[in-house]
Amino acid sequence: MNAVTIIGSVNLDTTLRVNEMPKPGETLHAVEHFTSGGGKGANQAVAAKRLGATTNFIGAIGNDKEGTVMMELLNQEEVNTDAVAVIEGESTGQAFIVVDSHGENSIMIYSGANNEFTPAHVNAYKETIKASDFLIAQFESDMDSTIEAFKIARDCGVKTILNPAPALENVPQELLAVTDMIIPNETETEIITGIKVTDEETMKEAAKALHELGIEAVIITVGSKGAFFDNGVKSGIVPAFKVEAVDTTAAGDTFIGALSSVLKADFSNLEEAILFGNQASSLTVQRFGAQPSIPYLNELNK
C-alpha cells in the first residue's frame, strides 16, 4: 500500500446542472442544484484513499461552516487531516460549477484559505512528507508552500508528482527542478513548453522539452483518447475506456489519485498504473459532482 501526501486545495463545491450553457446576458433555469466536497487537492486525496493508498493532506480551511463541512468529509474518508490549518479571518475555498447536458463544465473558484497557509506550516509536517512514497501538488493553493514541500520531498528521496492545473502562464523553474513526474493536459502542456499538442509526435516533442527541465516521467492526459506517457526510454498512449460521460468534474483528479495509489516509486509499472487511473476516471465521468463521483477500489475490481 502506497503512502501518498497531497498538498493543495480544499473547496466546497456548488454545482448547477443545466440543459445548455448560458450565453452572455442570458438567464436560464437549472434542473438541479447540490453542494459537495471539492478542490483539486482534496479530490486527489479522496481518490488516492478510496483506491487503496494511505493518504495525508496538507492545506488550509477557514474557521467557518464550509470548513467544518470539508473537514468532516475528509475525516469520513479517513484522510489524515492533521496538517490542515485553520486560518482565522479567511474563508474556506469554494468552487461554483455549471454542468450541461453534454457533460461539459464551467468552473469558477474562490481560493480563500487555500492561498493563506505558508512554507513554515509545511515545514512543521516535514516528517509526514518524509514518510510518504509520493508527494502530489496542483496550482490551486499557495505556490511558495508547494515549492517548499517539493524541496523537502526531494531532500528526503520522496518522488514528487506535479499536476500543473489550473493552467499557469509562468510555472516557477524552482518547482520544475524538483519535480519527478508531471501530469498536464494538452493545454497545460502547450503553456509550459510552447509546443501545441496535436498528435503523438508533438506529444513526444513536448515530453522531450519537459525531460530537459529535469523531469523524469511525463504523462499528458488527452481526455477521451486516454493518456500519453514518456519516461525517457519508452513512450506511447494508454487508451481511455469508452463510456458515456455526464460530468467531467474531478476526472483528472481521480486519474492522479488512482495512479498514485498503485504506482511504484521507480515508475517501473507506469503503463499499468495509467490503465488503472483511466479505469477509475471512466467511472467518475459517469456520475455528477466532484468527490461524490470518485469510485472505491471494490468498484474497479468487479
The catalytic position among 142, 180, 230, 253 is 253
Query: For the chain, percent helix, then strand, then coil, each to nearest 5?
Result: 35, 25, 40
DSSP state of 157: T
Read off the pLDDT of each residue in 31-45 and give the average, rounded to a whole number.
94
Cell numbers describing residue 12: 466546497
Nearest CA to 95 out of 40, 165, 161, 31 is that of 40
Overall number of domains in the chain: 1
Residue 249's pLDDT band (boundaries 50, 70, 90)?
Answer: confident
Q: Is 69 exposed, middle or buried (0-12, 13-18, 19+ CB in 10 A)?
A: middle
Q: Which domain holds residue 76?
A: 3-300
Residues in binding site: 11-13, 39-43, 140, 185, 221-226, 247, 249, 252-253, 278, 284, 287, 289, 293
Residues in binding site for substrate: 11-13, 39-43, 140, 253
Asked about 253 being catalytic, the answer comes back as yes
Span 78-116, pLDDT tens digits: 999 999 999 999 999 999 989 898 888 888 999 999 999
Cell numbers describing residue 89: 479571518
CATH number assigned to the domain comprising residue 9: 3.40.1190.20
Dump the DSSP string for 158-197: -EEEE---S--SS--HHHHTT-SEE--BHHHHHHHHS---
Tell me how far the alpha carbon of residue 255 is from its chain's centroid: 8
Cell numbers describing residue 58: 496538507
Evaluate if residue 302 carries a pLDDT over 70. Answer: no
Span 43-90, pLDDT tens digits: 999 999 999 999 999 999 999 999 999 999 999 999 999 999 999 999
Residue 156's pLDDT band (boundaries 50, 70, 90)?
Answer: very high
- For the entire predicted model, the pTM comes to 0.94
